[in-house]
Structures are given as structure tokens and as C-alpha cells.
Amino acid sequence: MLIAPEKLQKVVEVILMGGGSSAEEAELVAWHLVRANLTGHDSHGVGMVPAYVVIQHMDLLKPNTSVTLVKDDGAILRFDGGRGYGQIVARQAMEQTIARAKETGVALMSLANAHHIGRVGTYGEQALKAGMVSIHFANVVDHSPLVAPHRGTDSRFGTNPICIAVPGGDKTDDILLDMATSKVALGKVRVAMNKGEEVEPDTLLDKTGQPTTDPSVMFDEPRGALLAIGAHKGYGLAFMAEVLAGVLTGGGTIQPGNERHNSIINHMLAIVIDPTRLGDRDWMRSEIDAMVDYFKASPEQVAGEPVLSPGDPERISEAERRTNGIPIDDTTWGEILEVAKANGLSAEQVEEIVG
Ligand code: NAD
């Protein structure tokens, strides 16, 4: 199925309002999820709605919760998300941190206890919109681990995303690196399973710790494990994201002494920097233009596959999907109809919105 973004957003909005979210919350969460689909990250798009509804029914996700500023300490702002929608509380925390960075030049945001914050790049985009640089580290707790440590054979930590956003130049687009530290996000494995596809080799271990391309190993018990990017180096980044997001925010790490209720909680540490406080913006812009030009002039290894900057694949996807619609596989659509029902909407009502 190909669904127009506005229609998909409407479907998500009515489902979330059926779960008690205010119209404003439903609109913002739906916008975030559809934006993840538009940018090509189906793993963090509307396919998350079924999990959110189930978790909310377990009372582990609290609709209509705003972020709490726990400590206002100069350039350091500590927030608690109160298990509210991450798309809301992380956005609110970022808003305040960006405002503070405009005063102080740099601000550190510590956000604990947000329900799934979704596509972290969205918060990088928030910083970019304000002309800021941002750096984000998150960990994932309150559910079982997914990723094997380097040299290990079973899962011990989450897909711990890292994001870095830097405003572009006069000729170049903004640069947005936004990645899981696992080779693939779990949602991408779910999407592959729903489509009946295999995953790339060297991505997964089965329950015995052997390499496999079968996505179902992540959804059977005992579960397999995702592999981290870049062997010991990617593992090192994931390890440090766990420390920065789990320890420094006070939220806690995935170690088993901390309770796991089977929801998805993200803690995030973010640094927002006003680049104008570091130097001349005109020079920075022209330097970025020259640097990106230089990188992109590297001859293609495969014809038709030019060098890209981080953030380009998302722009390419968005242009294509705004024109052609967002692909939703049958399994995901079936799950969405199912949770719509749980929130009081019939399949006919949902299908009427989609048309
Ligand atoms: P990905 O592998 O598709 O892309 C990662 C990054 O690489 C992106 O910044 C992209 O622009 C860049 N990129 C891709 N191809 C490129 C190329 N040829 N040249 C230059 N740059 C290129 O993304 P992912 O690692 O699967 O992550 C998907 C999403 O999942 C992200 O939005 C991330 O924030 C999100 N995520 C969230 C959580 C959470 O707990 N909330 C956990 C893990 C991941």
C-alpha cells in the first residue's frame, strides 16, 4: 500500500486521540512518526503505533505528559520525561535547551525517563532550524537488550543511537548524521520480517550466537542479537552512549539490576552549540561548502551511486515519498487496524480516512 503522508498522519492522530492524547499531542507524535517514514526510516515510523498503544494500555506510557525541568543549572538543564511520549517531552526539552544555548553559547541537556523518542534526527533538525549544532547520545532501557557486545554471543544493550547535526553551507544542505550503533535498527529487522525478506549478512546472531540472515530470530524466544557497527569501534560508541545517556542523566543503564517492564524508555544526553560563538559563520559556511564539494567529487565506485553527505539519503527519500506516498506493508497495516480497534475505531473508519 502507498499512503499519502497527510492521510497516514490523520490515521495516527485519531488512533492516539482514541487512547486519550490531546489533539495537539496526537498531531505532534503523528507528525514525527510520518516524518520518520518520509525520511526512509520506516523502523521509527507509524509501524511503532501498535507498540505504543500496547504499552499505553499497560500504563507504561503516559499520554499528555509534559517534560519537567528537574534542575536549572546555568548551561546544564536536567529534565525528566515522566514516561510521556518521547516525541513530545524530548522536543520540549530541546526547545528549552536551544533557548539556553542562545544565551550561554553551549547548553547540555540531560533527559531521563522519556518513552521512545523515535527518530533522533528530528531533534537534530530542531537544532538546525535554530542555526545550532547538536550532538545526541541515547540509550534504550525498560526492555530486554537487543545488541551483542563485541566478542559476545548474546544481547546485552540497546541500539543506542548517536546523532550529530551541523548547519550546512551556502551551497550545501544541513549535515545530519543520525544512526543506531547497531548495524540495523530492530525496526528494520521487523520491517524485513513483515515483508518476508532476509537481512544483510553479518547483521544478526541467532540464539546460539551464530551469524544468520533470518530476521525472525529477533522475535522468537530465546532471542538472537543484533551486531554493533564497526566491530570494537562501533561497540565502543554504543558502550559510551550507554554511559553518557544512562549514567550521566541519572536515568540508569540496561544492567539487570534496573527493572524492565517491557516498554521502551530512552534517556538522552544532548549538547547544543551556537556556532556563531566559535567563529565567523560566513567562513564556516564557505569551508563546509568547499569540504563537501571535495568529498563529493570522489569518483563513484559504482556508476550511478555518487558520494553523499549524512542527511542526503533522508532528503532523497522524502522527495520521492512526498510524490509517491509512503509504502506500508500488509502486516504493519493489519497491526495498525488492530490497535485502532483497541482504541475504539473500526477498520472501516480508518479505511475511510485513507480513502
Ligand atoms: P541508517 O543506517 O539508514 O542511516 C544512518 C546515517 O547514515 C544517516 O544519518 C544517513 O543520512 C547516513 N547515510 C546513509 N547512507 C549514507 C551514504 N551513502 N553516505 C553518507 N551518509 C549516509 O539509519 P539507522 O542506523 O538504521 O537508524 C535509523 C533511525 O533509527 C535513526 O533515525 C535513529 O535515530 C533511530 N533510532 C532510534 C532509537 C531509539 O531508541 N529512539 C534507537 C536506534 C535508532
Would you tell me how many other CB atoms lie within 10 Å of the CB of residue 224?
Answer: 27
What is the C-alpha separation between 132 and 275, in angstroms, rounded?
6
Name which of 100-114, 175-189, 281-295, 300-314 the model is least confident about.
175-189
Tell me, what's the pLDDT at 355? 86
Give which of 68, 77, 70, 69 is closest to 106, Cα–Cα: 77
Atom number of ligand 1 nearest to Cα 187 = 30
Tell me, what's the pLDDT at 185? 84
pLDDT of 151 strictly over 90: yes
Give the tens place of pLDDT for each residue, 253-262. Answer: 999 999 999 9
Tell me, what's the pLDDT at 187? 80
Give which of 120, 157, 165, 156 is closest to 138, Cα–Cα: 120
Which residues touch 142 (CB under 8 Å, ≥6 apart)?
A: 60, 259, 260, 261, 262, 263, 264, 265
Residue 232 alpha carbon to ligand 1 centre in Å: 19
Residue 140 forms beta bridges with which residues?
266
What is the C-alpha separation between 194 and 180, in angstroms, rounded?
20
Residue 268 forms beta bridges with which residues?
111, 138
Q: Round the average pLDDT of the chain to a whole number and report it.
A: 97
Which residue minimizes the CA distance to atom 22 of ligand 1?
Answer: 310
Tell me, what's the pLDDT at 259? 94
Q: What is the mean pLDDT of residues 25-44?
A: 97
pLDDT of 131 strictly over 90: yes
Q: What are phi and psi of 292, to 5 degrees?
A: -65, -40
Which residue minimizes the CA distance to atom 41 of ligand 1?
Answer: 118
Structural domains of the chain, ranges and CATH numbers in brackets: 1-64+325-355 (1.10.1530.10), 65-182+228-289 (3.30.1370.60), 192-227 (no CATH)
Residue 249 alpha carbon to ligand 1 centre in Å: 23
Which residues touch 131 (CB under 8 Å, ≥6 apart)?
A: 167, 274, 275, 276
How many helices and strands in the chain, by DSSP H and E?
11, 13
**Pocket, ligand 1, Cβ cutoff 6 A:** 41, 43-44, 116-121, 138, 140, 159, 161, 163, 176-180, 184-185, 188, 266, 308-311, 313-314
